[in-house]
Structure 1
Amino acid sequence: MEAAKDPPESGKRRGAVTVVFLAALPLLLLVFLFANRAASIAADTQLWTQVKQQSPPRNASSGRDRLLGGLLSPDFDGPSCRSRYEGSERWKPSPFPVSSHLVRKLREYEAHHRRCGPGTAAYRAARAQLLSGRNGDRGECRYVVWLPIQGLGNRMLGLVSTFLYAVLTGRVLLVHEPAEMEALFCEPFPGTSWLLPPSGFPSLDRGFWSSCPESYASMLESNVIGYDYDDDGGGKNASAMLPAYVYLHLENMDLRLQNHTFCEEDHRALDRFNWMVLRSDSYFAVALFLVPAYRDQLGRMFPAKGAVFHHLGRYLLHPGNRAWGVVRRFFDGYLAGADERLGVQVRVVPQSHTPFEAMYDRIQRCARENGLLPQVTDEPFAGVVNGTANGSKARTKAVLLVSLKPEYYERLHGTYYANATVSGEVVTVYQPSHDGDQRTESRAHNERALAEIFLLSYCDEMVTTGWSTFGYVAHALAGVRPWLLVPQDWSKARDDDVACVRPASVEPCLHSPPSLVCRGGGGGKGLDDPVARVPFLRHCEDVGFGLKLVD
């Protein structure tokens, strides 16, 4: 029997309700995900609707290269990782061309990972050798297992550095994914997985530390391994007689293992192990340029030395679908329609005892002195329905403020919400979340942090906090040289201090550079400062003893 039909009026009402619900869905989702900021975001919604009606959204996808100049492989399905190909629609075109050699090395690495990755016969054989307790003969499939440490920015810097090390040394990168990082990033290599299987490594539950017996430093001190060896002649230093794996500890202020971690002889010794466990919170990719054996490959992969993280980060790090959903809804709903986007990232660690007023004043001075934000008048803001005084459309600027604290947003938002600007420009300010404290052990916190890093990376200009790895990652992904807020020693700050400086490149800073006093002289014997002899290295603007790559 035919089912009863709804009256036409009922169908229209139901359709109207559906349309209203779908129209409100993005805001409802943001309220759910960012409830602690939802009220302030909602306060700008009516104004922003008027702004977008006057200024049509920029067509971000027009003419964009979804494969990022060949960095990305086309061999993925879209739904499994929506950020991989959608991200290029929101980034500005890269100012750095991708070298054909880098593209070739990435495709070669992907093929190597498919042959040796988890689930393959080669991986099972390598794991059996690992569990035997001995290193065994050198084979095609060798591995570096990355262990996370510190906050998300540090982890992303360490992960990209470890991947570059794997490419240079012919190893396969395997990632230990703790609960707080589950599904945070997409799989970056087609047809395989980069995740270390749950029971894939001995001693992982026991943990590793810088002086544990398996560490490279301990093996050197106890003569388990030495620099002088002859594998063909056997003996105690023959590769097959070594322990099953080596642990390399590269934590922030602990890079100097016996004063020569990144010397030629150290990397020859490390290269003899089929399995390596590596823990780092630093951008040690910079130090790989100090090893002569790697320089030719690095030079061919990166003709522009100031674009290493920019290219590798865009290739390797893609937010999982949950974090990407936050990025897409927030960006498309509140940032995409602006004529210009300014990202402001404020990181204040408790140990610095930074006064709020001093930091906010520095942000204001930086923005004012460099023309990043318009000045306000004493007149109240009267809306933008009629555009500017001469009848033209009002220019719009969206400010994305990212901080663990709400005070900076509240002050800046209040300023531009209540007052007109001298230029007639309409400024709206947004802060997606303010968790108060860093909670790296929380997956939800890490998802919000990752979303905000990518939202920052879609901005046209950026103000970031010196020393902040979070800020480093955002501006390096964007390919934008930020304005760095300095100094960190607020007890010595003066009113005539420079509010912010422009770094020489978009590259992150290596906070703890290694020594170059090498036993064999391969890394520059007797030279304590690599800047003195390496033309593409500079000391960092925010960390005087740090190192960064420049062109």
Structure 2
Amino acid sequence: MVDGNNLKSFRKLLAAAFMTFPILIILFCIYQNSIFEGPKNNPFEDVKDNQFLSKIPDDKLLGGLLVSSFGEASCISRFESYLYRKTSSYKPSKYLISKLRNYEHLHQICGPYTKSYNETMKEGAQFGKHDVDSRCKYVIWIAANGLGNRMLSMVSTFLYAILTGRLLIVRFDNDMSNLFCEPFPNSSWLLPKNSPFSNNLKQFKTFESMLTNNKKNNSEELLPSIVFLTLMNYNLGDTRFHCDQNQDLLQKIPILILQADQYFAPTFFMISSFRQDLNKMFPDKDTIFHHLGRYLFHPSNEVWEGIRKYYETHLGKENEKIGVQIRVFNAEQTPEIIISETISCIHQNKLLTKFNMQSSMNPPLEKNTSKVVLVVSLYSKYGESLKSIYESNTSLSSGVIKVYQPSHEENQKLGDNMHNIKAWIEIYLLGLCDALVTSSWSTFGYVANGLAGLKPLILQNVHGKIVPNPPCQQNNLEPCLHIPPKYDCRTNTPFNDTFTFYNTKHCEDYPGGIKIINMYD
């Protein structure tokens, strides 16, 4: 038998154990957390944030080009576009990413509506004034010509801003409203509507007159605080923009107003002070527009809805998507010749199976495949012709070729906002294709190629009345600068002809132009 006293003691011991056990469990949990989570006051790590970021696919942020600090509702395309496009094979350099983060920080400090912005813009404030932030310098971009030209010149201007420590501010008139999302976090790139730079730009001193006055007076004290640059035509405009000594002068100007319609980024390789940064930012030189274009241009919610609906209705379910962009510059180019050239290019490069249009017996597509041809042109006749040719020459039992053309405005409508919205939708849809055939000289095609990260097949025929052989040739990613500088900064004399320089060559589709390449190309 158990002694009564012993039983009583045993019960007390058991009760104490039960009371102590929860405390031990709590202490054990605290100990476990201290091992696996680390100190709670670690200022460099937020476990929840890191767990969230680890779930974001790398291509959703374009390999680090973008930051996740935007509200998704304000720009849906920024967060959804990776679901529609293929992952780029071109990765941005760590140096480029760091330059973009530094730029974003500066834009938050100096962007529109900040104190620094207001003080600098007031009466064209000089750097010497005590109430002006000397870090805040600006390049104000002014639109010119069609949307393709504008996007090319915006990327060039943004790269110039990064290289020179300026902020890019864009003046969008009504025909550019609601095309793009804001690209910079917690700030705007839009020039305020009440800005003195919204009109009457002729009141400001031009770059050429600044150089003339500076040469006469030989005094930097007389430099203006605002300079108007025109890079519309290097033969007639600011021909000495690319000279090192003139860039030194421009660094002393707080506000530059720049109107351009070309991809003038190739000229930066002429400026010795820019080359080191360019080489570090872009180890692959021919990815400049690809990276900066995808960083800057995100379709607005309205535009994105149009892109998404069209893609899901017509393109998304097909095995392969072939984009064809046709721009006609010469009235002597007949539609029949252009169609024949396009089909020859598609067949010679095996984008689609070659067939005999005179015969009903043609090789079928690979079994159970479906391909779609997206035709982008101002004219409906090209979409209709390719549709009638391809959709009547396929074997439905083996595979299907479908042809779609989103719109056909029949002529370019400058200054029309809806026209630009349609153009932006079509540029973006081309960028979602697996292969591209585009027209020579076309800035519209250059933008689509660059955003897609695809080396395009560019049609060769511009003037001829017969289909050339070959009908097209593959180009690299970079757009062509159609009218490059013809001014020799060393001798202060014009060049007699176009020349190439560091990391550039003549364009395949526009021999008088130049484009950026890698040296090993």
2:61 paired residue among 56, 67, 72? 67
Q: 1:217 to 1:499 in 2, by over 3 A?
A: same
Cα offset, 1:267, TM superposition: 0.7
- 1:170-319 equivalent positions in 2, closer than 5 A: 170-202=165-197, 204-208=198-202, 214-221=205-212, 223=213, 225-226=214-215, 236-238=219-221, 241-252=222-233, 254=235, 257=238, 259-319=239-299
Structure 1 residues 229-249: Cα deviation after superposition (integer angstroms, max 9, x where no partner): 6xxxxxx422xx432300110
**Residues in 2 aligned to 1:418 and 1:260: alpha-carbon distance in whole angstroms:** 56
Post-superposition offset of 1:380 = 9.3
Are residues 289 and 429 of structure 1, via their aligned partners in 2, closer, same or farther at CA, if it must alter by over 3 Å?
same
The CA distance in 1 between the partners of 2:226 and 2:191, in whole Å, is 15
- Check conservation: 1:91, 1:458, Cα contact below 8 A: yes
- Give yes or no for contact 2:235–2:486 (8 Å, CA) kept in 1: no
The corresponding residue for 2:79 is 85
Could you tell me which residue of structure 1 aligns to residue 451 of structure 2?
477
368-377 or 397-406, which moves further after superposition?
368-377
Secondary structure of the residue aligned to 1:542 is coil
Aligned partner (choices 478, 485, 493) of residue 507 of structure 1: 478
Closer/same/farther in 2, CA of residues 421 and 201 from structure 1, 3 Å limit: farther
Is 371-380 or 269-278 further displaced after alignment?
371-380
Closer, same or farther in 2 for the Cα pair 1:253/1:263, shift >3 Å?
A: closer
Give the alignment partner of residue 430 of structure 1, picking from 387, 404, 416. Answer: 404
Larger radius of gyration: 2
How far is 1:289 from its partner? 1.6
Q: Deviations over 1:180-221 (max 9, x none)?
A: 11121110000010001011124x42244xxx7621012223
Q: How many residues align?
A: 458
Distance 1:128 1:206, change over 3 A: closer
Residue of structure 1 aligned with 2:343, choices 364, 387, 410: 364
Residue ranges of structure 2 left out of the alignment (5+ in a row): 1-54
Q: In the alignment, what sits opposite 1:4? A: none
Residues 152 and 449, structure 1, Cα contact 8 Å, conserved in 2: yes
Deviation per residue, 1:411-460 (Å, 9 max, x gap): 11112222325994311000000011111211111111000000000111
Q: Distance in 2 between matches of 1:218 and 1:151?
A: 28
Aligned to 1:12: none
SS at match of 2:458: strand
Q: 2:383 aligned with 1:400, yes or no?
A: no
- Structure 2 distance, partners of 1:242, 1:252, is 24
Query: 1:13 matched to which residue of 2?
Result: none
Question: Is the contact made by 2:176 and 2:420 (CA closer than 8 Å) also made in structure 1?
Answer: yes
Residue 529 (structure 1) shift: 5.2
CA distance in 2, matches of 1:312, 1:375: 37
The amino acid of 2:163's aligned partner reads L
| Partner of residue 320, structure 2 | 340
Q: Which segments of 5 or more consecutive residues in structure 1 lack a partner in the other structure?
A: 1-60, 230-235, 382-387
Q: 1:431 to 1:252 in 2, by over 3 A?
A: farther
* 8 Å Cα contact 2:228-2:257 kept in structure 1: yes
**Cα–Cα, structure 1 residues 255 and 294, in superposed 2: closer, same or farther, change >3 Å?**
farther
Correspondence for 2:145 among 139, 143, 150: 150
1 CA distance for matches of 2:445 and 2:397?
Answer: 29
Indicate how the Cα distance of structure 1 residues 261 and 352 shifts in structure 2: closer, same or farther if over 3 A, else same: farther
Kept in 2: contact 1:113–1:172 (CA 8 A): yes
How far apart in 1 are the matches of 2:255 and 2:236? Answer: 20
The separation in 2 between residues aligned to 1:122 and 1:142, in whole angstroms, is 10
CA spacing shift, 1:255–1:104, aligned 2, 3 Å: farther
Rounded Cα–Cα distance in structure 2 between residues aligned with 1:424 and 1:255:
58
Q: Do the aligned partners of residues 337 and 311 (structure 1) sit closer, same or farther apart at CA in structure 2, a change above 3 Å counting? A: same
Shift of 1:516: 4.9
- Give distance in 2, aligned partners of 1:341 and 1:321: 24
Give the share of equivalent positions with the same residue, in percent: 39
Q: Where does residue 325 of structure 1 map in the other structure?
A: 305
Partner of 1:518 in structure 2? 489
Q: How far off its partner does 1:278 sit?
A: 0.2
Q: With structure 1 as the length reference, what TM-score do the two structures score?
A: 0.78
TM-score, normalising length from structure 2?
A: 0.82
Return the alpha-carbon distance in structure 2 between the equivalents of residues 289 and 304 of structure 1: 14
Return the structure number with greater relative CO, CA threshold 8 A, min gap 6: 1
| SS class of match (2:60) | coil
Q: 1:479 to 1:337 in 2, by over 3 A?
A: same
Secondary structure, counterpart of 2:275 in structure 1: helix
Q: In structure 2, do the counterparts of structure 1 residues 541 and 266 end up closer, same or farther at CA, with 3 Å as the change threshold?
A: same
1:487 aligns with 2:468: no
